[in-house]
Amino acid sequence: MGEPSKEGQQLLDQGYIVLSNVIASAACDALLSHAQTASDEGRRLDRGDLFGNIQESEHRHDLKLGLCAPAIEALNQLGERCRPIWVCAMGERVRVCEFAVITSDPGAVAQPVHADTMHGVTRFLQSDWVAPTADDCVEQDEDAADDVTNVIRTIATDTALIYTCLLALQDIELDMGPTHVWPSTHTVEHHATLWSTNTGAKLFVADADKAFGVEHKNMTLRKGDLVMYDSRVMHCGGANISQKRRSVFVVSTMGPGIRPDGTTWTMLRSLRNMLMLSDLPLSLDRACSPVADASAGAIVLSTAEEAANITSRKDDDDVRKAIPPLQDWGAAVQCTFCRRWRACSAMEAPALTGATSGFSCPMAGYSCLQEQGHSNDEIEEAMS
């Protein structure tokens, strides 16, 4: 096992890492059997609510997992190995935002090269937002224009990070269409290249190598191995020209910040915002979904209510920390972007204010879209 700090730094620098022997063989087998059986039955019953959107979906199935015993066991083992890396890359406030198994059947064609989420800066540059003019601001508070500009700047530069794990549930050979990854392409420059190259056309592997100036890596993995990648890194699923099915366990995790555009958010709605890093390992007592087992007679799938209902503890986009009462403020730090004051402990304050690019709200679990909660005078009085 590598050092989490080195693995986390490689993830930040290159946009991906490969980890070996993350999940035991028996756990892979159990989840593989459940996922392929449930996918086949779900397709037979036309249960579209159990599947996510995926590019080149013919012969590909993106099954949303319920909390069945095989899924819980696999998630716990993955979480144990990946937790230090997630914390290194995103901090402690991490949640699962995708929980699925993707199966690529024989005959699945290669996907076009893409990134799951748009780079925050590219998102801003591609938007049609127009800065307010002086005339627009005549009737507004003198700080209103600056507030809007700071929020837009934050959206551009402080979007939440998402890291996706694709774990092989069986050995993946080259002819089974492994995932292709282009190292270090999670940058503004490479996203600009994708946008300029991909206008009106799909970008495929051979052309992508030339366009990005980077040779792709084939994720031919052994059972239990995984590739973890930044959702902004360029990648695609390959063509399955074999006679074997290829299934990968998909777990995406998101840190604090503004929710990015583009990802498929493949997860039962009943589980959204319900699986935090701090919850792991989950007890098997949390198992509330059936295991799909063809040998047991009738195959039972997750219910339509699980797929459609939201029973999460927070709103979809709300992973922010609540503003505490003033008596609980140990110290106050000011966000470089939105200029609002945020509560933290006296021990946290030096590290937050000493960050190279300055303090920003997500570093302490807040959002720049939150109100300050108390006036400047009230905070100043409380801190004196």
CATH fold of 4-117+159-308 reads Jelly Rolls (2.60.120)
Name the one residue in this structure whose structure tokens are 């893409």: 114
pLDDT at 348: 85
Residues 31-64 pLDDT 10s: 999 999 999 999 999 999 999 988 888 999 999 9
**281-301 confidence digits (pLDDT tens):** 999 999 999 999 888 777 888
Structure confidence at residue 146 as a pLDDT band (50, 70, 90): low
Residues of the chain with CATH 2.60.120.620: 4-117+159-308
Q: What angle do CA 345, 347, 349 make, to 5 degrees?
A: 70
Confidence of residue 307 (pLDDT cuts 50, 70, 90): confident
Q: Which of 75, 73, 66 is nearest to 39 (CA)?
A: 66
Average pLDDT for 364-374 = 79
Residue that wins the pLDDT comparison between 251 and 376: 251
To the nearest whole number, what is the mean pLDDT of the chain? 84
Report the distance separating Cα 149 and Cα 153, nearest Å. Answer: 6
**Sign (positive or negative) of CA dihedral 71, 252, 359, 370:** negative
- Angstrom distances, CA of residue 300 to CA of 35, 45, 70, 292: 12, 11, 15, 6
Note the pLDDT of residue 145. Answer: 52
**With bands split at pLDDT 50, 70 and 90, how would you rate the model's confidence at 203?**
confident
The answer to whether residue 315 scores a pLDDT higher than 60 is: no
209 CB-contact burial (10 Å; exposed 0-12 / middle 13-18 / buried 19+): middle
pLDDT confidence tier of residue 131, bands split at 50, 70 and 90: very low
- Locate 152 and state its tokens: 């837009």
CA angle 269, 97, 92 (to 5 degrees): 135
Structure-block tokens of residue 306 = 């699980």
Of 9, 167, 16, the C-alpha closest to 79 is 167
pLDDT digits (tens, 9 = 90+) for 212-244: 999 999 999 999 999 999 999 999 999 999 999
| Interatomic CA distance for residues 325 and 343, integer angstroms | 9
DSSP string, 327-370: GG-SEEEE-TTT--EEEE-TTTHHHHHT-TT---GGGGT--TTS
Query: SS3 letters for 229-274?
Result: EECCCCEEECCCCCCCCEEEEEEEEECCCECCCCCCCCCCHHHCCC
| 326-383 CATH pick, 3.40.50.300, 3.30.230.70, 3.40.50.1820, 3.30.40.100 | 3.30.40.100
Query: Which pLDDT does position 363 carry in this prediction?
Result: 75
- pTM here? 0.75
Q: What is the pLDDT of residue 110?
A: 94
On the question of pLDDT at 306 being above 90, the answer is no
CA 11, chain centre distance (Å): 14
142 has pLDDT over 90? no
Reading the block at residue 319, the tokens are 């992973």
Q: Would you place residue 98 in the very low, low, confident or very high pLDDT band (cuts 50, 70, 90)?
A: very high
Between 364 and 255, residue with greater pLDDT: 255
Residues of the chain with CATH 3.30.40.100: 326-383
- Give pLDDT tens digits for 178-199: 999 999 998 888 888 887 765 5
